[in-house]
Amino acid sequence: MSKQEYKYIGQSTPRIDGKEKITGATCFVDDIQFGPNLLYAAVVESPHAHALIEKIDTGRAAKVPGVVKVVTGKEFPFRFGLYMHDRYVFAQDRVRFVGEQVAAVIARDPSAAKKAAALVEVQYKELVPLLNVFDAIGEHPKSIIHPELKNYAHVPWFFPEADSNIAHFRKVRRGDIEKGFAEADLVYEDQYVVPRYAHCAIEVHAAVGLLDNSGRLTLWTASQSPHTQRHLFTQALAPLGFTHQDVRVISPAVGGGFGGKAGVSMEILAAALATVVKGSHVKVLWSREQEFYNTYQRQGVHARLKVGVKHDGTITALEQTLYWDAGAYVEYGANVVNAAGLSATGPYRIPNIKMDSICVYTNLPPGGPYRGFGYSEFIFGLESHFNEIAKKLNMDAVAFRRKNAIREGDTLAYGGKMNPNGLLEAIDKVAQAIEWDKEFPSTDPNIAVGKGFSLFWKAPAMPPNASSSAFLKFNEDAGLNILVSAQEIGQGFLTAMAQVAAEVLGVPPDRIRVESPDTDRTPYEWQTVASHITWGCGNAVKRAAEDAREQIFDLVEKTLGKKRAALYLEDSAVKSLEEPEFNLPLKSFVIDGIIMADGTWRGGPVTGRGMFMPEFSSAVSDPETGQGGKPMVHYTVGASAIRIEIDKETGKIRIPKVVLAVDAGQAINPGLIRGQIVGGLLQGLATVLYEDMRFNDKGKLLNPNFTDYKIPTALDIPAEIVPIIIEVPQPDGPFGARGIGEHTMIPAAPIVANAVEDALGIRIKSMPITAEKIAMAIKKMEENKK
């Protein structure tokens, strides 16, 4: 019998002495929104990374006063998943990572739930855990983590290998790789390692579920994906009779997402548990520890690179194999592997390509979406490798990149054509801003100074039919409400959508309110991920506004006889190019209509409807070559550079200046873009300089807290951050705009790695590049000189 680990997951809002006075009455804060019958849950977690479940005894737990229900996997033997149906609500016959939920206790107060969870007894038979990709994909792996892999439903662009630990194998082949290497004057090979990372949103995951007496299941979730969550909840619970109209997801503002609150992770617990206590709300709230080990983590990757170049710096061939540590379940994470595999050339013109991106099951926590969606990981190795090649050619690192940078119309790895972009302009402006050609000699013999440069790109990683929709309605005062299901996660989406509608309708943005997602009230949106919302949802909002504008012009033309071609909207009124004195306030008719000479009315409430789907996109391709289709709708590109100072004794890095330029297409709100550049760079610098996820040899995370998992503070911010906005319009974007939200953190790791090499002559090929790692490398270099 194994001692169980448990975590209480239902604590309510912090309060003084556990209670709060409200107008003379004493009540729990949670009671205010969800009523006095709110129930709390505690989960029983696996202490093993890989084991068979032989027996679960809930008898003692069920007898604890206040316990309402004890639930195990037998109540929910249903698989679900976004791209691969490989996950269960609760573990069934086996557990696959430390912390996986095995059972849950629902009780009337938190202490009872916690006490009962500790009394659930589970008997396990331990199996060999596979904790790194090479143990998992060896010729004879010691175990198969998903024996039923061949039976899992998945999207048609995934290629799992049955009876193995390979969940997806993305191949890309173009040109003649052997010929490319034969033509090269220099062939250089090396390997680079990027570990796992946590999202570190300050707001932890939380969800409340209610199955009411009408059979309606409602979830309140902190989510980037309310409609996708509804779909996956329905998918998982369909055997219980639930359909999409029976499930509602309400998502208020999210306190940090970065991909960690996309798709479905712990929220499925609130949905499932609510179905067994009909009529009562059930609250699930992750602790900070659970936030680390039982939500999506950024996947680790081991990259093997081989590149051929001519003496003049022209790249002739790229061979790259990416081994992704995807964790115990890949229902979302495999798409990270797929997207990165299609784009792992980086923003470069390379005629001969062989790339393999391999999604590997391990017995670590599930990997999933994280800001950058795999691009930060492969860019670290690629840009580090290109810097080493430039050095071997005795060629300037910026000149090497400029020579090989991709241009509009160039052929992409999968055979498509590159969209219009300002990459060359970004390179030049970043080089100028960082003063690339200027020497910065150190005045302190203990301080080494270096500069690093990197390019970056990213495409929205999404299914070809990912769509956005919008409703727009005027109010009596000509103010507007926009109903959409994209989510505000700090990127400024609410402001940007108001600006798009304002541009079309001639109404000030501050008279427009953009509503929060509610799947019963707001129309469909795939997810707030992939940096596609400005582009996709922006197009839907623009079309909804244009729909409303055409209704207005129809009405004015029909009732007042005004020439339609001369009408325009400005200052919340209809005006005419042919009649400067004509001014018809929108508030005078957008609800009431326009009165006719005979006393009748025409018109009525003006509402707009818009939808956008990238109908030109296709994920269909040859599984052996990756050629065909158009899996990437467009790429956003940019460049970044940094200047650092390194203390040779401690390895501590100080950053006097960092620069990043990104091509936004058309900057709808420059202030928000500059904010994203600063925020993205800081998050990226955190992953390369501070964050370090540690597991023991049993697969248990050793530092699931902000004491041991280091993140930077305000004292660690670079002295100067220079944001640069490039504008080369995206032809199919709203007013030419494209997304930039994830891209701004992607180059952080390689610019630091390249600057460290420039300063010390030491190439660090694994992240993070902490002060300790630098100091140890300096010590080793000095010892080798003796």
Catalytic residues: 742
Whether residue 605 contacts residue 473, with contact meaning beta carbons closer than 8 Å, is answered with: yes
Number of neighbouring beta carbons within 10 Å of residue 538: 30
Whether residue 621 contacts residue 628, with contact meaning beta carbons closer than 8 Å, is answered with: yes
Whether residue 738 contacts residue 728, with contact meaning beta carbons closer than 8 Å, is answered with: no
Residue 245: strand, helix, or coil: helix
Burial 95-104 (b: 16+ CB within 10 A, else e): bbbbbbbbbb
Tokens of 203: 């707001």
Whether residue 741 contacts residue 491, with contact meaning beta carbons closer than 8 Å, is answered with: yes
Please report where in the chains the tokens 């994830």 appear, as a residue: 742
The rounded distance, in Å, linking the Cα atoms of 467 and 537 is 8
Instruction: Please report which residue ranges of 690-763 form alpha helices under DSSP H.
Output: 748-760
Which helix or strand (DSSP H or E) is residue 544 part of? helix 533-560
- Radius of gyration of the CA atoms of the chain, in A: 28
Q: Nearest-5° angle of CA 72, CA 39, CA 283?
A: 80
Whether residue 642 contacts residue 190, with contact meaning beta carbons closer than 8 Å, is answered with: no
What CA–CA distances, in Å, run from 433 to 437, 721, 724, 746? 10, 10, 9, 19
Whether residue 100 contacts residue 144, with contact meaning beta carbons closer than 8 Å, is answered with: no
The rounded distance, in Å, linking the Cα atoms of 1 and 700 is 19
Q: Is 472 left (phi over 0), alpha (psi -120 to 50) or beta?
A: beta
Whether residue 531 contacts residue 739, with contact meaning beta carbons closer than 8 Å, is answered with: yes
Whether residue 473 contacts residue 530, with contact meaning beta carbons closer than 8 Å, is answered with: no
Tokens of 601: 């009315």
Number of neighbouring beta carbons within 10 Å of residue 57: 13
Number of neighbouring beta carbons within 10 Å of residue 392: 11
The rounded distance, in Å, linking the Cα atoms of 768 and 570 is 53
- Strand-strand pairing, 39-45 and 87-88: unpaired
Burial 235-257 (b: 16+ CB within 10 A, else e): bbbeeeebeeebbbbbbeebeeb
Tokens of 325: 């540590």
| DSSP 8-state assignment for residue 775 | H
The rounded distance, in Å, linking the Cα atoms of 406 and 701 is 41
Whether residue 104 contacts residue 4, with contact meaning beta carbons closer than 8 Å, is answered with: no
Q: Within the chain, what is the greatest distance between any pair of CA atoms?
A: 103
Residue 19: strand, helix, or coil: coil
Which sign does the torsion angle of CA 685, 538, 232, 39 carry? positive
Tokens of 167: 């969940």
| Neighbour order of strands in the sheet with 480-483 | 512-514, 480-483, 468-474, 607-612
Q: What's phi and psi for 523, nearest 5 deg?
A: -75, 175
